[in-house]
Chains A and B, each alone.
Chain A
Amino acid sequence: MLTQRIIRLNDKVRNTEPTIDLDRARLITEFYSQPSMDNYILRRAKAFKYFLENKKIFIDEDSQIAGHAGACIQGVPLHPDVTKWLYDDFETLDNRISDHLHFRNEEEKEELREIVNKWHGNTFGDFASELLEDDVRDMVDALVFTHGISNQSTMNHTPDYDNLIKYGYRHYINRCKKALEEHSCNDVYDMEQRINWEAMIIVMEAIISFAHRYADLAETQAAECTDAKRKEELLTLAENCRIVPEFAPKTFLQAAQLVWFTHLAIVSEAAGGDHCLGRFDQYMYPFFEKETAEGRDEVYFQEIIHEFKLKIAELWNIRQYKESIAVPGCPLWMHVMLGGVKENGKDACNELTNVFLRCLLDLQTDEPCISFRYHPNVNEETFRLAIRAARDTGGHPAFYNDTSAIMYLLSLGFTLKEARNWGICGCIEPVVCGITDFQTNSGNFNVNKILEITLHNGYDPVSKKQLGIKTGDPKDFKCIEDVMKAFEAQLDFFMEKFIDMANTTLAGHAFTLPTITASCFSVGCIEKGKLLQQKGSDHHYTTVSIASMANLIDSFAAMEECVFNKKYITMEELLNLMDTNFEGNESKRQLLINKAPKFGNNIEQADKYGEWFVDTIDRSMKRFKDSHGGQWTSLHATVVYNVAMGKTVGAMPDGRLAFTPLADNASPMIGMDTNGPTAVVNSLAFCDELVPQSGMLLNQRFDPTIAAGEKGIDIIESVFRAHFAQNGYHIQINVLDDETLLAAQKEPDKYKNIIVRVAGYSAYFVELGKEIQDNIIQRTIQKGL
């Protein structure tokens, strides 16, 4: 049930035009304008403190939880110190297609322009960009791969909320103080520890003081408030902000306030998103249980959950122009995890899980991402409630398989008990909450581009440069194995370049932009006196996003069948067809489409290339370690980079026309999976889903008439269970028919609240660019007959 308060808050968040909030840009620039010989880490800590002390704050009249990123609802802070793109894309900010913002007035626009000009050439992004070698820059420009985390510091923090909620910040400050007392500089590098502990103390004290500012404001407002009920609420809010984050929370509301302050601080300190909210239904449960016993009803908890979600939904991670096109709808990828098993392997679903899921039935928000962990002994009622929520309300939650995730994490060096406590960082990637230093956005790897380059002997016909190595004239290839061998050699070559670039960038974070707040609450950092970027955590790994494997699989199957087996066409003809984009030769394109098997139909002749490819990618990256000594893992997800990447890839042997979108994520190519969802799931299973340790992302769209009623839930449940029984890791669904989506394109105002699952995140459909909307509409709809 939605209360009036929540309806109003949702309305404010949804219908307030986002405006650029200059506080952060101004204050950081002011701070760094003061000459100083201070250490750069202490300077970051003090800059953040200065910001928290001086940023404008407000309490919304409907809020029970304090804290906003900006000085008003939908105020969007910018990070001119971090982001290089702000200079290049400045003029797009208030007129871009996706995620466009408003300036409050012309003066503020001019002020920001001045600030940005001041930082020009000296931002973190400039530093990261200068790390690129010329040949790698060419590869990035040709979109063989992207240069991730170059405009933000390490993302993907997973604060240890399980423990933080038991202690509060003072406990952590005391641990730093104790470490400092016992510390002595016996070695020159021991200085680093001292600096780090001091920096952590500065930051934690600053956040506590920041909370006290809200307490003061709430008390002032309470004194002036004539409404008795609101006065009471303001006094409670003030009391909460004096208790948390400094001390352990006593109530559900205080616990939510603590988590929110911490998350807000992490995103405010450095640009970036993807920070994990952990297992909300687990760490919040003791408060839920206690207050339920004291007589609190479900509405009390639901109001807090809704407001907490709206707080996250209001956050922005503003991106450079081309990324705003590639990942529209401003995803933050902040995941709340529900369900799963406890440390002892028993089902972890509880009444709070159900309450949270019922909240989704009442009100969906695009963020946070809600995820649900399935396991074979999952509470059936809760599981079906979760399916119902996803079916009826637009994508949340997405579904994950405990078995696969735990296997991934074991293979990454976690113990069994640790591995069972996993949440998500990034699109779908599993991490162990509180003890993982994981990096998801090292970059997207465009494997179809690499096939195109392979079939041109190392030359990229689009950028017209010899980007790859010479692996032989494809006209001389005698069998599909020759193509595979050449592809593997090119892949190895580009992978090495990519990993060198990503490792250099990751290392760069440690020496320019470490994240201090997140380090305080990641196990290992205080113990070692090291920040996350300096290898403070005990567990490290980094992933490469692999784009659109379906086109690659289909291309290999088409070459095998049409060129080498049946000899319908020669390799030379195929290359000509690719170079001319099949112009005047549509029948040959149809041949490649229809006479060769396609991924997603449970046909081994195609799927075997999926198995080979997943292994090959993994083998190629496993030749290296990440810059923190961790493993490189693969993630088969494109987000919606399949559209942007498609624009750089010419015609392919699978019959795809030049520069059109590639397949989304690990899903089959649009329109090519014609045998229903069971065949799709089986094709994916054939790829040995346990190999890519960061998962494979599968989107499935169901026809609403098929998904209707309890029988519809039965069908979806069967598909999910079978997918997971075969080690499938992830699946997310959209249950919307074409008519609804087409109508929403025509009359966006009427369909403002339709949420669709994009890729590891959901977005309001009407806020996506037309091209992405079309791409979602074209996703094969599973009808089952």
Chain B
Amino acid sequence: MIFNIQKCSIHDGNGLRTLVFFKGCPLRCPWCANPESQSYTADIGEYPNKCIGCGLCRDRCPQNAIAADGHINRQFCLEECKNCTDICYAEAKRNIGKDYTIEELYKEIKKDKIFYDIKGGGVTFSGGEPLTHGKYLKEIAEVCQKNRINVCIESCGYSKFEEFKDALPFIDEMFMDIKLIDSQKHKEIIGAGNELILENIRKISEYGIPITIRTPVVPGYTDEPENIAGIAEFISTLPTVKEYELLAYHNLGESKYAALGKEYLLKGVKPPSDEDMIKLVKLANSILNKYGKKCFYMKDNKKEEGTKC
């Protein structure tokens, strides 16, 4: 299942890219900017500022779960029931998640082929966790590769190697997250240890796929210097990793939690400052540079490597 196809993205790979977001993720990072990606089934999103107050959804709801202000009391919702999203013409209630056949998905990806060909763009499968959709991923990646479309994967790395290994021959490049190097902390915060992730990264790297490692810098969670240094140390042993990108935490996903009737746990956490980011970038570079690798973060569309400060 796919929850979004976004055209003309400039991140997550070279050139102009189409991002395909898979639905479903085994991890639960509290800072997740795409909470609608977590469940493996379709969700109902609520967007009250689009509501025109027509009341059609209330009339249609078999459970009387919708209040006068249009808000859904989700504990009453029936599984798979989408009556309210079907009737909501204003799209104040929207179904999130759609199944695509390989053919349908390829048709969407192909639409921007002419753009990919110009500056080396292509498709990026993201999520959710694409590696947990191994068979489907393999099929679509194979079609793309046959048609000379560059394939990138953005992944948290948490999936059985057996599940996705058949897809590897059709992948050109990967972006893989390491959130925390300490497995205990990883387990406490995200709900699972990081052993499987680190092992997958090592195997994928040994398989020969170029990887960029990424860490979201979330104040109070992942921004300890020891964490970044530890990840950098790990990276220094990986043959196909050239770059380590730090991503500054942002709270742009916050409103999505409300739309899904979920609670946002990081309320009040401020994005890290440029200064903080540069400090961590420098720290990582002090470890990585001697291995011919580098760390950076993106600022104003430019890679900031902390060399000038």
Contact = CB atoms under 8 A, between A and B. Distances in A.
A209 interface: no
B118 A587 contact: no
A711 B119 CA distance: 11
Given A678-B7, A682-B112, A590 B91 contact: yes
A678 B91 contact: no
A717 B90 CA distance: 36
Given A588-B89, A682-B112, A718-B119, A784 B300 contact: no
Interface in B7-50: 7-11, 15-16, 19
B90 A709 contact: no
A709 B301 contact: yes
Interface residues of B, number: 25
B164 interface: no
B10 A706 contact: yes
Given A587-B54, A708-B300, A678 B89 contact: no
A671 to B, nearest CB: 12
Contacts of B9: 784-785
B300 A709 contact: yes
A719 B6 CA distance: 15
Q: Interface residues of A toward B: which range?
A: 20 to 34
A594 B6 contact: no
A677 B89 CA distance: 25
A705 B301 contact: yes
Contacts of A709: 300-302
A721 B118 contact: yes
Contacts of B121: 718
Contacts of B54: 586-587
A711 B10 contact: yes
Nearest to B16: A718
Nearest to B113: A722
Contact of A719 (B56, B90, B115, B301): B115
Contacts of A679: 7-8, 111
A784 B8 contact: yes
Contacts, number: 87
A675 interface: yes
Contact of A678 (B11, B16, B119, B301): B16
A590 B53 CA distance: 12
A722 B118 CA distance: 7
Contact of B52 (A590, A677, A712): A590
Interface in A285-338: none
A782 B301 contact: no
Contacts of A682: 111-112, 114
Contact of B301 (A590, A677, A711, A722): A711
Contacts of A705: 300-301
A676 B111 contact: no
Interface string A718-752: 11011001100000000000000000000000000
B91 A715 contact: no
B15 A718 contact: yes
A708 B115 CA distance: 19
Contacts of B118: 717-718, 721-722, 725
B128 to A, nearest CB: 16
Scoring A678, A712, A719 by chain B CB atoms within 10 A of each residue's CB, the highest score goes to: A678
Interface string A586-618: 111011011100000010000000000000000
B45 to A, nearest CB: 14
Contacts of B89: 587-588, 590-591, 593-595
A586 B300 CA distance: 41
A92 B250 CA distance: 53
Contacts of B8: 675-679, 715, 719, 782, 784
B96 to A, nearest CB: 15
A708 B301 contact: yes
A62 interface: no
Nearest to A594: B91
Contacts of B7: 602, 675-676, 678-679
B82 to A, nearest CB: 15
Given A594-B89, A678-B8, A785-B9, A715 B112 contact: no
Contacts of B56: 587
Contacts of B19: 785
A392 to B, nearest CB: 14
Given A678-B7, A709-B302, A714-B15, A725 B114 contact: yes
Contacts of B115: 678, 718-719, 722
Given A586-B54, A677-B8, A708-B300, A715 B16 contact: yes
Contacts of B114: 682, 722, 725-726
Interface string B278-302: 0000000000000000000000111
A683 to B, nearest CB: 10
Scoring B6, B11, B115 by chain A CB atoms within 10 A of each residue's CB, the highest score goes to: B115
Nearest to A706: B10
Contacts of A678: 7-8, 16, 111-112, 115
A717 B117 CA distance: 12
Scoring B7, B9, B121 by chain A CB atoms within 10 A of each residue's CB, the highest score goes to: B7
B146 to A, nearest CB: 22
Contacts of A722: 114-115, 118
A711 B302 contact: yes
Scoring B8, B91, B301 by chain A CB atoms within 10 A of each residue's CB, the highest score goes to: B8
B6 A785 contact: yes
Interface in A556-594: 586-588, 590-591, 593-594
A725 B112 CA distance: 12
A541 B119 CA distance: 39
Contacts of A726: 114
Contacts of B16: 678, 715, 718-719, 784
A593 B8 CA distance: 23
B111 A602 contact: yes
B6 A706 contact: no
Contact of B119 (A593, A594, A717): A717
A729 to B, nearest CB: 16
A547 B8 CA distance: 28
Contact of A587 (B11, B90, B300): B90
B27 to A, nearest CB: 22
Contacts of A782: 8
A586 B6 CA distance: 29
B247 to A, nearest CB: 14
Contacts of A715: 8, 10, 16
Contacts of B11: 785
Interface in B125-147: none
Nearest to A712: B301
B308 to A, nearest CB: 15
Nearest to A726: B114
B52 A714 contact: no
Nearest to A715: B10
A595 B91 CA distance: 9
A308 to B, nearest CB: 35
Nearest to A595: B89
A679 B16 CA distance: 12
B52 A586 contact: yes
Contacts of A591: 89
A710 B9 CA distance: 16
A595 B89 CA distance: 7
B119 A714 contact: yes
A389 to B, nearest CB: 18
Contact of B10 (A586, A588, A594, A784): A784
A784 B15 CA distance: 12
B76 to A, nearest CB: 24
Contacts of B6: 676, 785
Interface in B51-84: 52, 54, 56
Q: Which 7 A-B pairs have the closest CB atoms?
A: A676-B8, A591-B89, A587-B54, A709-B301, A590-B89, A590-B90, A711-B301
Given A706-B10, A711-B302, 4 more contacts: A590-B90, A677-B8, A679-B7, A718-B16
12 contacts: A586-B52, A587-B56, A590-B90, A676-B7, A679-B7, A679-B8, A705-B301, A711-B10, A714-B119, A718-B115, A722-B118, A784-B9
